[in-house]
Structure 1
Amino acid sequence: MQTLKSYTTSIYLGICLALSLLWMYAATAKILEFDQFKIQMSQVSFLKPMADILVWFIPLLEYFLAALLLVSKTRRLALMGSAVLMSVFTVYIGGMISFSPELPCSCGGIINHLTWQQHLIFNLFFTGLAYWGCYRFKHFKINNI
């Protein structure tokens, strides 16, 4: 039984680390390419009224989630936040595929070079990881690591 718990704990910590690295990378890429990120956000008609706020809020939220994932007492909250934020991003990408596939992605970095379909698969994977991490936390009470 101890082996199963160590295996589960390792997977759980791996998920937290992967999500934390994803959030740090995504936020940093947006900050480094801030002007491009702002222009691309303002090109999306329904985001245009909020673009000036979102260009700051999104990277700050991503950094915040990354930090929370690294602290054992806040991991559960961070996993839930990651699952919600990844879900929002995934729905956004699905909408972009359906309604505006010609617009560039505003994600930044290497992710910016993915097609919308590749980005959707990428997001579905990380959304699944976040939800699985929430499930594991709830069912195995992994709150002391």
Structure 2
Amino acid sequence: MSMVSNSKTNNLRWYYIRKETIVSIISSLYILLFLYAATSKLADYQNFKIQIAKTPIISDFSMVLPWLVPTVEIIISILLIFSRTVLVGLYASLALMTTFTVYIYSILHFSDVIPCSCGGVLQKMNWDQHLVFNIFFILLTIIGILLQPSTKQNKVVQNP
């Protein structure tokens, strides 16, 4: 009986290790994405600021967004580094990527002016590609949130 129980515990342990690995990969992708995006925006801050001011949908916020967006991206990246705050970071990533996606959709469907305020490699994408890219990351985030083990599950695996 103890052999079956031990085998079950080992299987559970491997199951949660695989889940944690997937969540770590998703978190790492977001850390890379957000730190890259924030760095690109800050490196070309004046251009980013001008592009934000040209965008009809968000031009009213052109004084605050150029520093707020990279700051939020950096904060989320920090949240995703630590295991205690990964879930909060994933929810924040989901909120930010959803906001970006709604913004892109709105620009594509309701705006005559389509400026690009993204930096680096992301600037090379057209708007439709960017929309697909964002949706892909939203799906990754949802997977990461669903795979995030609850504290009760962690206690069962850690204390067989």
Fold conserved (TM > 0.5)? yes
2:114 is equivalent to residue 106 of structure 1: no
User: Which residue does 2:6 correspond to in 1?
Assistant: none
- Computing the radius of gyration from Cα coordinates, the structure with the larger value is 2
Tell me, yes or no, if structure 1 residue 15 matches structure 2 residue 26: yes
Whichever residue aligns with residue 77 of structure 1, its letter is V
CA deviation after TM superposition for structure 1 residue 62, in Å: 0.2
**In structure 2, distance between residues paired with 1:141 and 1:12:** 13
C-alpha separation in 2, matches of 1:102 and 1:42: 11
| Alignment RMSD (CA, Å) | 1.7
**Alignment partner of 1:32 out of 39, 43, 53:** 43
- Runs of at least 5 residues in structure 1 that lack an aligned partner in the other structure: none
Within the candidate set 129, 141, 144, 2:150 is matched to 141
For these two proteins, the number of residue pairs brought into alignment is 142
Q: Which amino acid aligns with 2:51?
A: Q
Task: Indicate which of 125, 131, 149 corresponds to 1:120.
Answer: 131
Query: Do 1:27 and 1:60's aligned partners in 2 also have CA atoms closer than 8 Å?
Result: yes
- Which of 41, 60, 68 is the equivalent residue of 1:57? 68
Residues 131 and 91 of structure 1: is their aligned pair in 2 closer, same or farther, counting only changes over 3 Å? same
TM-score normalised by the chain length of structure 1: 0.91
Letter in 2 for 1:104: P
State how far apart, in whole Å, the 2-side matches of 1:48 and 1:101 are. 14
Q: 1:72 offset after TM fit, Å?
A: 1.0
SS of residue matched to 1:103: coil
Aligned-partner Cα distance in 2 for 1:44–1:128:
27
Paired amino acid for 1:111: L
Deviations 1:17-38 (A, max 9, x none): 1111111011001001111111
The question of whether the paired residues in 1 share the 8 Å contact of 2:20 and 2:147 is answered with no
Question: What 5-or-longer segments of structure 2 have no aligned partner?
Answer: 1-10, 155-160
TM-score, structure 2 length as denominator?
Answer: 0.83
CA distance in 1, matches of 2:141, 2:45: 27
* Partner in structure 1 of residue 5 of structure 2: none
SS of residue paired to 1:73? coil
